[in-house]
């Protein structure tokens, strides 16, 4: 039964699912007494040192890690420039800025130098007999009016840039949620390892006693084999718990500082962080819907994209109308003719008559993208409301659940005192069971605190709240 417990715990850690871990029963976990608990304990420093020295993760820009690692420092690494999410944002923003610069250039001044080298056989009616008809000119032109096409493209590019920039909050908030969850997964993996380690110590003592009784022929070899099998199973569980420690540390290191992690992690005092604690007030779910629809970064981003696409549609529609431009030229000619003007200035009008359906195709494509963005916005709203509701229900359950461990621990404290007294009188031998019940309640309470903190952070991410929990 205990083997099944720790296998389930392992799967939950790998899935980073704290909510299921909170509800998981550790009723079959075995704890030992203080002296026995140290019997087979592997120092945490050994695990962390092995991770930091042997894990090959490539080349990264590493920061000096504090010792012990604190949650405040870990969350501050959410905006690490080398993280994939922030790199992706930087690339998107760079491209959006380039698109805006390109749109702005359409209303700028264009200047170019044009030249030609040409030999001619002059006609007899031309006054000049010069055969060199080369030319060098400086041409300057600027668009004057295009019925709103350029201005629409400029505003569309600005809206697209605003869309990309609004997603920065979403990238950072999601990284903070991931870091928070990974940090707590490490702490839980350490607790579970301690449980497994002490359970193995208890089973070892039991095995030693059974072997002594077997030597005295007080029990059968079948009973001995059963206890030995139980011990081996517990030892495998401890080995797996040790592997989970390393896996959770690797995940946390990937998020905050690939290739390097502190040996110890500080357990945060969540009561000192009101935004992540049980003392925070949970608003009505309808009020949360309103806040999410106003401030969610993804919704804001898709609103900007919708505005950008509407403006692009206007720009494509304006391509059917004339374009007015001013042209200036200064030229030098190898031979002088009547039409060889040194300077020219004029207004040019380009009137599109037929474009083989290109303008209509662009309009239809933009209209299709507009419908697609509207559908995406609607889908985001549906998903957002569902996620807000699920978090609201989870937080409500966790806040209600918060008082249960305190009550159970009060009972287990009394039960432990009674068991300790009876044990000292050698009346009973269930002191270990009493300590198990007490530690189970303590672990359950810790998991409740951790899951509640992660749920608050996820809700803040959806609501677009500032997640500066240490300010």
Closest CA to 43 of 190, 185, 183, 187: 190
311 located within any domain: yes
Residue 219 falls within a domain, yes or no? no
What pLDDT sits at residue 411? 47
Nearest to 12 by CA among 240, 276, 267: 240
Pick from 451, 463, 362, 444: which is nearest to 192 by CA? 444
Low-confidence ranges of the chain (pLDDT < 50): 1-3, 5-6, 9-10, 13-14, 16-61, 405, 407-408, 411-412, 414-416, 418-431
Residue 265 pairs with which residues in a beta bridge?
A: 69
| Dihedral sign of CA atoms 401, 407, 411, 413 in order | positive
113 bridge partner residues: 138
Query: pTM value?
Result: 0.76
Q: Which of 407, 397, 388 is nearest to 23 (CA)?
A: 397
What is residue 54's predicted lDDT score, i.e. its pLDDT? 39
Structural domain span for residue 328? 19-30+67-186+263-463
3-state helix, strand, coil in the chain (%, to 5): 65, 10, 25
> Is residue 346 in some structural domain?
yes
- What is residue 2's predicted lDDT score, i.e. its pLDDT? 46
Long-range pairs of 114-121 with CB within 8 A, sequence gap ≥ 24: 114/139
Query: How many helices and strands (H and E) does the chain possess?
Result: 13, 4
Determine the Cα–Cα distance for residues 307 and 313; give it in Å rounded to an integer.
10
- Give CA–CA dist 274/281, Å, rounded: 9
**pLDDT at site 428:** 44
Q: What is the pLDDT of residue 52?
A: 39
CATH number where 330 lies: 1.20.1600.10
**CB-count burial class (<10 Å; 0-12, 13-18, 19+) for 204:** middle
Does residue 110 sit in helix, strand or coil? Answer: strand
Cis peptide bond prior to 68, omega within 30° of 0? yes
- The DSSP string of 401-429 is HTHHHHHHHHHHHHHHHHHHHHHHTTS--
397, two tokens: 């359950």
- Count of the separate structural domains present in the chain: 1
pLDDT in tens, 118-161: 988 887 777 767 888 899 999 999 999 999 999 999 999 999 99
Q: Is residue 215 part of a domain?
A: no
Please indicate, yes or no, if residue 225 is contained in any of the structural domains.
Answer: no
Which residues 6+ apart lie within 8 Å of 216 measured at CB? none
What pLDDT shows up at residue 92?
Answer: 95
Name which of 97, 257, 77 is nearest 172 in CA terms. Answer: 77
Q: Answer yes or no: is 234 within a domain.
A: no
Compute the half-sphere exposure of residue 74: CA atoms within 13 Å on the CB side of its CA: 31
Q: Is residue 6 part of a domain?
A: no
What is d(CA 415, CA 417) in angstroms, rounded to the nearest whole number? 5
Alpha carbon distances (Å) from 145 to 119, 210, 322: 39, 97, 8
Instruction: Region of 458 please: left (phi>0), alpha (psi -120 to 50) or beta.
Output: alpha
Shortest CA distance to 51 belongs to which of 268, 252, 255?
Answer: 252
Q: Who's near 97: CB < 8 A, 6+ residues apart? A: 161
User: Residue 454, exposed/middle/buried by CB under 10 A (0-12, 13-18, 19+)?
Assistant: buried
Domain assignment of residue 165, yes or no: yes
């Amino acid at each position: 039964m205990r083997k099944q417990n720790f296998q389930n715990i392992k799967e939950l850690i790998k899935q980073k699912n704290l909510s299921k871990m909170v509800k998981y029963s550790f009723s079959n976990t075995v704890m030992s007494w203080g002296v026995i608990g140290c019997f087979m304990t592997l120092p945490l420093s050994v695990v962390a040192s092995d991770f930091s020295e042997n894990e090959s993760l490539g080349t990264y820009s590493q920061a000096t890690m504090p010792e012990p690692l604190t949650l405040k420092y870990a969350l501050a690494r959410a905006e690490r420039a080398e993280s994939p999410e922030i790199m992706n944002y930087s690339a998107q923003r760079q491209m959006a800025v380039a698109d805006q610069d390109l749109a702005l250039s359409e209303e700028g001044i264009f200047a170019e130098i044009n030249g030609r080298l040409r030999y001619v056989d002059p006609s007899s009616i031309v006054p000049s007999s010069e055969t060199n008809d080369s030319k060098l000119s400086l041409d300057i032109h600027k668009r004057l009016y295009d019925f709103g096409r350029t201005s629409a493209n400029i505003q569309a590019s600005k809206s697209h840039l605003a869309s990309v920039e609004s997603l920065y909050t979403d990238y950072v908030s999601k990284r903070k949620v991931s870091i928070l969850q990974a940090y707590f997964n490490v702490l839980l993996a350490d607790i579970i390892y301690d449980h497994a380690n002490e359970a193995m110590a208890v089973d070892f003592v039991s095995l030693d006693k059974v072997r002594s009784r077997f030597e005295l022929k007080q029990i059968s070899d079948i009973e001995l084999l059963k206890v030995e099998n139980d011990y081996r199973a517990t030892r495998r569980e401890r080995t797996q718990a040790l592997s989970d420690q390393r896996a959770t540390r690797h995940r946390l290191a990937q998020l905050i500082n690939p290739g390097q992690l502190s040996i110890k992690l500080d357990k945060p005092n969540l009561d000192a962080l009101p935004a992540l604690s049980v003392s925070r007030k949970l608003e009505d779910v309808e009020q949360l819907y309103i806040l999410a629809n106003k401030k969610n970064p993804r919704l804001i981003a898709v609103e900007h994209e919708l505005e950008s696409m509407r403006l692009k549609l206007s720009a494509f529609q304006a391509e059917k109308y004339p374009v007015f431009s001013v042209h200036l030229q200064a030229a030098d000619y190898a031979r002088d003719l009547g039409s060889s003007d040194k300077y020219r200035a004029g207004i040019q009008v380009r009137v599109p008559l037929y474009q083989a359906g290109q303008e209509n195709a662009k309009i239809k494509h933009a209209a299709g993208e507009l419908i697609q963005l509207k559908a995406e916005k609607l889908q985001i709203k549906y998903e957002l409301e569902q996620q807000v509701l699920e978090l609201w229900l989870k937080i409500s359950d966790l806040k209600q659940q918060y008082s249960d461990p305190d009550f159970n621990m009060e009972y287990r404290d009394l039960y432990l005192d009674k068991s300790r007294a009876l044990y000292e009188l050698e009346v009973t031998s269930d002191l270990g069971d009493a300590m198990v019940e007490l530690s189970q309640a303590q672990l359950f309470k810790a998991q409740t605190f951790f899951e509640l903190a992660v749920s608050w952070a996820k809700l803040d991410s959806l609501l677009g709240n500032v997640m500066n929990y240490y300010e």
